[in-house]
A and B are shown apart, each in its own frame.
Chain A
Amino acid sequence: MNYDINEEQRMIRDTARKFLSKECPGEFVRQMAQDEKGFTPQLWQGMAELGWMSLLVPEQYEGFGGSFLDLAVLLAEMGYCCLPGPFFSTVVLGGLTVLEAGSEAQKAEILPDLASGKRLMTLAWLEEEGSYSPEGITLTATSQEEDHILTGTKLFVPDAHVADTIICVARTAEAGKDGTAGLTFFLADAGSPGLRVEVLRTTAGDKQCEVTFDHTPVPKKNILGEPGGAWPVLKRILQMAAVAKCAEMSGGARRVMELVVPYTKERVQFGRPVGSFQAVQHHCANMLTYQDTIEFITYEAAWRISAGLPFDKEASMCKAWVSDSYRKLVGLGHQVIGGIGFMEEHDLQLYFKRGKAAELAYGDTEFHREMLAQAMAL
């Protein structure tokens, strides 16, 4: 076993840390939470120049050819500064789905643009039921000559308002016994007729959208992967997305520690630093335990994905543990830092709000415990 990142990953980390500390301070995160678009073209361009969108894209599609573990290292830095914008939706949700399900021609068409930052993407699968089961997907796709006609509403779609391409999971046939029949990925252009996007108001200012398809035609050549075969691929992508989200939280955990621990050494009450009180020390010790375990379990799951090993069980353990532990870590951070952390002008509250969104994304703790129970053959 080896718990250290390699030289290349250290470079990715150091570059990201340097760039983001300059380009993405807390004030920027607050502005972007209010901003209609939620990011700036300059920032996106800067990220593209650093090759971040190309990280996971294989070299044959003009990418960097990095590993999922490399991506996890980068995502941790993004989580560290609460980076707003469509990186996660484009690279993790869009990029991975194309990589996992796309034909050679589709990859050759989409991935070079994605890698250069020209094409923004997202994945739309949740609907009104808000559940991660296949039964929750009811949006219909009816065959009509050269097209499928998509009708229905997707919810909680990240960054759909700026995406050029929305990958929509729709049903081409009746759900069948296990609910997975007929589920198919469609590559829908944002400008398609009848496609409407509305940004939902969220607490953290992350951009989640309602996407309505009203008799929207999508050409049959834009089917991604096997018609009717989307569910196993979607499940795999959601597990990877869960681990990717944990990587963001692991960076967030480090930042919360940095916001809180030094403060306890300076803040004086009763004539001594509050960090010298054992009640406070024990909270901080618990926070460090959460931070370390969040990091290891995330990197272990990311490593398994990179190494091509089965990762379903580890990904569920990871998301269950990290969702839970990150919430506790941030909660303790608030308790330790006191009133000032409760203020809008303090950065700590950003991590509380973002943490809540991350906790729910791609399955919360209870969901993943149940997934794990299934994997344990309970």
Chain B
Amino acid sequence: MDFQFSPEEEAVLREVRAFIESEATPEMLAETYEIGYFYGAPLGREFIKKFAAHGWLVPNWPKEYGGMGASAMLTFAIKEEMAYAGVPLGFVAAHMAGPTILHVGSEELKKKWLPPIARGEYEFALGYTEPQAGSDLSAVNLRAVDKGDHYVLNGQKTFNTHSHIADYHWLVNRTDPDVPRHKGMTMMIVDLKSPGITIRPLITMAGWRTNEVYYDEVIVPKENQVGEVNKGFYYLMAALDYERMFTLGTYQRLFDQVVEHTRKTTMRGQPLSKNPLVRQKLAQLATEIHVNMLLYYRLAHILDTGQIPNYQSSMQKLFATETSQHITQTAMEILGHYGPLTKESKWAILNGRTIRFHLSSVVETIYAGTSEIQRNIIALRGLGLPRS
């Protein structure tokens, strides 16, 4: 056993930190914060292209596709650095689509898509959820009809966050309606500028934007199909096992800021940090953050020892997202009446970040598989409990 990074990993992480320190401008960080840490806005693209030139966007990809051939451990650690620093963090192309292309794509597809993705040139938006297909993704029915050398697509996606700033849609759709549902789905890459695509904003309670995406007679060339036809559902499920990692750095930073706030804020003649109840709460959160770190790097350990994470990915997603809510909930308790003040208010503390994160944390336990779905997976796959 060994619970520290190797000297080589530490050296890369120091470089990453130094790069972020010198290259991340306040304007870029503000832009990234405003769009909820997704990739695709102009300043973020500029920053990430320079960042990616070191191979840091996809460290564990083979060098020929633009990676470093590095360990999953280093990949996970770099991602956590990015989260803590507040630079663009949500990459669908590099961290969700890319690995699937790497595992199931043809050589042609890999050569075409992976190098530019590794350079940060393309961003994808996730095209999974539909109005009737939330937790039950096999209910997808955006229809793709085979027309020989291309498909024609009709239907609707929803909650497709950052499709308005991404270049391509990482789409799962229905190619065969006459077989059991999970056997008739296919993955495709769709240019979001294609004629017939309409993107309509949905604004979340946290003020961040997500979208509905409508497809009306959209033509997609066959070469944009990923892997085999009708295997989409399986690719999607496997991708969840391979590449799931939920950073907590964004919330950990808020936690550190709140800790600092309790040291500096005096109440009845003593710092808030000396209040025994506050101390208990903060120590508990520090412990949960630490436990999440152990679950997070376990996934990297599993990958680096040639295995594929299974229920462990679900456990980490569950734990990280529940911890994020616990952090913001506790931070709101500590801030009291100041908590709900937005950044425009002259009395706002920490620039109103606490309430913003508190609001956004609501979705953490819902998107990418609700906590209930994660517990189902842990029980069924981790413990082998029966379905019926």
Contacts and interface: CB of A to CB of B under 8 A. Distances in A.
Given A1-B4, A289-B378, A292-B315, A378 B282 contact: yes
Interface stretch (B120-128, B206-214, B236-244, B294-302): B294-302
A293 B291 contact: yes
Nearest to B272: A378
Given A321-B291, A378-B263, A289 B318 contact: yes
B383 A288 contact: yes
A135 B290 CA distance: 31
Interface in A306-321: 314, 317, 320-321
B259 interface: yes
Contact of A297 (B290, B300, B379): B290
A369 B284 contact: yes
Nearest to A314: B290
Nearest to A296: B294
Contacts of B384: 265
Interface in B1-18: 1-5
A282 interface: yes
A293 B300 contact: no
A287 to B, nearest CB: 9
A289 B315 contact: yes
A276 B291 contact: no
A370 interface: yes
Contacts of B276: 370
B283 A285 contact: no
The B contact surface, by secondary structure, is helix
B30 interface: no
Contacts of A369: 279-280, 283-284, 287
B375 A282 contact: yes
Contact of B73 (A1, A272, A299): A1
B388 A1 contact: no
A300 B3 contact: yes
Interface in B258-282: 259, 262-263, 273-274, 276, 278-280, 282
Contacts of A280: 385
Given A292-B295, A378-B262, A1 B378 contact: no
Nearest to A366: B280
B291 A281 contact: no
A289 B317 CA distance: 11
B251 interface: no
B1 A285 contact: no
B220 to A, nearest CB: 38
Greatest chain A CB density within 10 A among B2, B291, B295, B388 is at: B291
A320 B382 contact: no
A363 B262 CA distance: 25
B304 to A, nearest CB: 9
Secondary structure call for the A interface:
helix
Contacts of A11: none
Contacts of A378: 259, 262-263, 273-274, 278-279, 282-283
Contact of A265 (B273, B315, B318, B386): B386
Interface string B351-388: 00000000000000000000010111011101111111
A1 B375 contact: no
B73 A278 contact: no
B108 to A, nearest CB: 37
B1 A2 contact: yes
Contacts of B1: 2-6, 69, 299-300, 303
B301 A3 contact: yes
Contacts of A282: 372, 375-376, 379
B263 A285 contact: no
B286 interface: yes
A276 B375 contact: no
A265 B387 CA distance: 10
A99 B337 CA distance: 53
A286 B382 CA distance: 11
B151 to A, nearest CB: 37
A273 interface: yes
A33 interface: no
A20 interface: no
Given A282-B379, A303-B2, A317 B282 contact: no
B305 interface: yes
A38 interface: no
B38 interface: no
Given A3-B301, A300-B1, A373-B279, 18 more contacts: A265-B384, A272-B388, A273-B386, A281-B379, A282-B379, A284-B378, A284-B385, A285-B376, A285-B382, A285-B383, A288-B382, A292-B295, A293-B291, A296-B295, A300-B294, A317-B286, A321-B287, A378-B282
21 contacts: A1-B3, A2-B2, A3-B301, A69-B1, A265-B385, A276-B386, A276-B387, A281-B385, A285-B374, A285-B378, A285-B383, A289-B315, A289-B318, A292-B312, A292-B315, A293-B294, A293-B295, A293-B319, A296-B291, A317-B290, A378-B283
Interface of A: 1-6, 69, 261, 264-265, 272-273, 275-276, 278, 280-282, 284-286, 288-289, 292-293, 296-297, 299-300, 303-304, 314, 317, 320-321, 366, 369-370, 372-373, 376, 378
By Cβ-Cβ distance, the 3 closest A-B pairs, closest first, are: A281-B379, A285-B378, A369-B283
